Every structure is written in structure tokens, then in C-alpha cells.
């Protein structure tokens, strides 16, 4: 229903607010649908057991404390007491995703929170998250979320 309405609203100039509302709704539903078929036992969805390896727990703590800085995976592995290959293998086994994906998720979540809950400029948010430029942040955000940060903010605030 929303898709048909959305396409018809694209041709009307009088209702940009309504268009934005339905675009946001469609995006939201798409996101929910993408998680609908997820196996609930998947470590990405719910993790019932504690992480048993202290080195993985340490790396998680380090990533959460330093995700706004440029963290080299080699250095993170070293600080966790593991070689890089062993670190990647153990992390993926325990977390279900690579350390890079986990780190990108932390940065994306913070970016979304900042875009929705603050009036900071996209440039300020990109700097706060440790990106070298707004352009690199915009590319990162668009590749992980699907739309540029300024568009995400605009659509998110117009509902």
C-alpha cells in the first residue's frame, strides 16, 4: 500500500511532508522485514551465554571505549593478547561477525543517535566519530545505512 502511495506522491508538488512520511514508513518496514527471517539463535540477534574468552571480552571493551578513534585491528589484537589471525578467528567464532563489522556497527549506531537526538552538523558528527573528512563519513554511513546522513536526518525529523 505504501509503495503505490509513495510513487503517486512523487508526482505531486503539494505534499512533500506526506511523501517524506511514507518514504520513512517504507524504509522502516523494509528494515523490519530484513530482520524478520533471522534465526533467533544467531549470535547477532540474541546471545544467551556469556562470552567465555576473556580476550574477546577485552577487545569488546577496547572497541567500545575507542571506537571514535582510528583503531588498527593489528593493535587491537595485540592489546587483546592474540595474533591478528587468531584474534579474527576467535572473535568471529564468539560474536558471529568480524571485528570490523562489530566496530562499524558501533560507529553506525552512534552516528544514528547523534543525527536523531542532536542538532550537531554532519561535519561535527563525522569529526566526533574519528573520520578524516565529512565525505568519508558520508560514504561510510551511506554504505552501512543505505542513505546519506543528511538525508537520514531529514527523513527522520519529518515524520
Count CA atoms closer than 13 A to 158's CA, side-chain side: 17
Q: Does pLDDT of 125 surpass 50?
A: yes
130 phi-psi bin (left φ>0, alpha ψ -120 to 50, beta other): left
Q: Does pLDDT of 2 surpass 50?
A: no
Helices H / strands E in the chain, number of each: 9, 0
pLDDT at 41: 57
pLDDT at 149: 93
Most confident option among 38-47, 61-70, 110-119? 110-119
* Cβ contact 116:156 at 8 Å: yes
pLDDT tens per residue, range 133-144: 999 999 999 998
As a whole number, the mean pLDDT across the chain is: 79
pLDDT at 68: 77
Mean pLDDT of 39-62: 69
- In the structure, what pLDDT confidence band is assigned to residue 122 with cuts at 50, 70 and 90? very high
- In the structure, what pLDDT confidence band is assigned to residue 34 with cuts at 50, 70 and 90? low
Rg (CA), the chain: 19
C-alpha 86/C-alpha 104 separation (Å) is 20
Residue 102: its H or E element: helix 99-117
Cell of residue 49, nine digits = 551465554
Calculate the alpha carbon distances from 138 to 28, 145, 146, 152, 153 in Å.
20, 10, 11, 11, 12
pLDDT at 1: 47
Amino acid at each position: 500500500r505504501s509503495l503505490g502511495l509513495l510513487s503517486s506522491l512523487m508526482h505531486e508538488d503539494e505534499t512533500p511532508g506526506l511523501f517524506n512520511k511514507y518514504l520513512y514508513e517504507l524504509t522502516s518496514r523494509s528494515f523490519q522485514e530484513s530482520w524478520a527471517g533471522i534465526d533467533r539463535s544467531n549470535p547477532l540477534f540474541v546471545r544467551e551465554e556469556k562470552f567465555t574468552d576473556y580476550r574477546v571480552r577485552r577487545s569488546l571493551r577496547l572497541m567500545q571505549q575507542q571506537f571514535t578513534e582510528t583503531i588498527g585491528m593489528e593493535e587491537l589484537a595485540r592489546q587483546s593478547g592474540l595474533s591478528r589471525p587468531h584474534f579474527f578467528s576467535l572473535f568471529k567464532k564468539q560474536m558471529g561477525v568480524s571485528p570490523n563489522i562489530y566496530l562499524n556497527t558501533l560507529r553506525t549506531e552512534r552516528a544514528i543517535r547523534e543525527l536523531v537526538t542532536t542538532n550537531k552538523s554532519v561535519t561535527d558528527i563525522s569529526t566526533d566519530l574519528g573520520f578524516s573528512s565529512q565525505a568519508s563519513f558520508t560514504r561510510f554511513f551511506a554504505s552501512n545505512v543505505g542513505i546519506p546522513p543528511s538525508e537520514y536526518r531529514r527523513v527522520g525529523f519529518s515524520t
